[in-house]
Amino acid sequence: MTTTLTRSWNTEFEQQTLNKLFAQYTPHIPPIREYDVTPPNTKEEKSNFYNYWAVTAGHYLFIVQAASKAILLIRDPDLYLLLSRQIGDDGTHTLAFRERVIAVTGRDPIDDVCKEAEYHWEFMGDVPDRNWLGFIAVELHYKHHILPTVVVNSRTSKINDDELVEKSASVFQPDEARHRQAIANWWRKQYEKASPDEKAELAAQLLELDEEVQQRRNHYIKKRWLDARRATGAKTLGIEPVYDAWRQEVISYFLDIPNPKLSSVS
């Protein structure tokens, strides 16, 4: 519990790095939210709202399932404890999205949420439970690499549910920040203990898996950006370089590699 890490992940690092990247690549994205959201009104807006948030709930359900499957791949009670918290939180998020979709549209999205989680299993294949590093790569993509997308959505969406916006700021995002921090610091603890040879091997394997997951997710990520624009009006256009650069920063932090060569989401 009291291991001293040479680098420790925190929200300041996230904010400073992201603000720098947004300023560099997407100056049209403001550093804070500039206007209130309006609730979905027309039939089309409500239908988009239903689809977008049912899909978001499916994302959370998938990570609940993946983390549960992976929890016993690694015999480390520290990891059990931090993942148990993540699983509990993500289940709560899934439920929260489901409830708001019901409140706003009158339809229970439960079947679509399940279908979406199944869709993630289709494109992710066996990576989440192939081995413990596969699961870490999944965590990286679902918790860390996704951050610029989450930030852009939360700052720039125009059509949204007030309660979801409030909950996102007060519950979901602080939870997610804790998950990123917990998994990053857990990883660093393992990584810093390793011998130079082991480190090189771990780095090579994780890099390869992270790239594999990127390939598997490319199509989905681009569709999500498009859907966000359509459903909520979020300014996701042109976000690709921020995504790529942020992912480089994450990998660089995890593996102590200054400028890792990675494939692009584009």
Partner 1 sequence: MTATLTRPAWTTDLEVEIFDKLIDKHAPHLPKTRLSDPRPPATEEELENFCRFRIAGAAHDLFIVQVCAKVIDQIPDLELQLFLSRQIGDDGAHAQNTRQRVEALSGHDPIKDIQKQVQKHWDYIGDLPIRNWQGFLAFELHYELHIVALLLLNNRTSKINDPESGKFAKERILPDEAFHRLGVVDWWQRKYDQASPAEKAELVAQALEADEELQRLRNPYLKEHWELTHRAIGAEIVVLPGIYDAWRQEVLSYFLDIPISKLPKLVSVND
**Where on the chain is the footprint of partner 1 (CB under 8 A)?**
1, 61, 64-65, 67-69, 71-72, 77-78, 80-81, 83-92, 94-95, 110, 113-114
In the complex, least distance from residue 135 CB atom to partner 1, rounded to whole angstroms: 12
Report the C-alpha gap between 78 and 131 in whole angstroms: 18
> Of the two residues 67 and 245, which places its CB atom closer to partner 1 in the complex?
67
Using the minimum distance from each CB to partner 1, give the nearer residue, 44 or 78: 78
Q: 247 with 262: CB under 8 angstroms?
A: yes
* Dihedral angle computed from the Cα positions of residues 166, 170, 176 and 179, in that order, rounded to the nearest 10 degrees: -160
Closer residue to partner 1, CB minimum distance, 76 or 212: 76
Cβ 182 to partner 1 shortest distance, Å: 11
Q: To the nearest 10°, report the CA torsion of 253, 259, 260, 263.
A: 120
Instruction: Pick the closer one to partner 1 by CB: 68 or 173.
Output: 68
Least distance (Å) from partner 1 to the CB of residue 105?
A: 18
User: With respect to partner 1, which residue has the nearer C-beta, 94 or 157?
Assistant: 94
Min CB(176)–partner 1 separation in Å: 14
Supply the minimum distance, in Å, between the C-beta of residue 187 and partner 1. Answer: 18
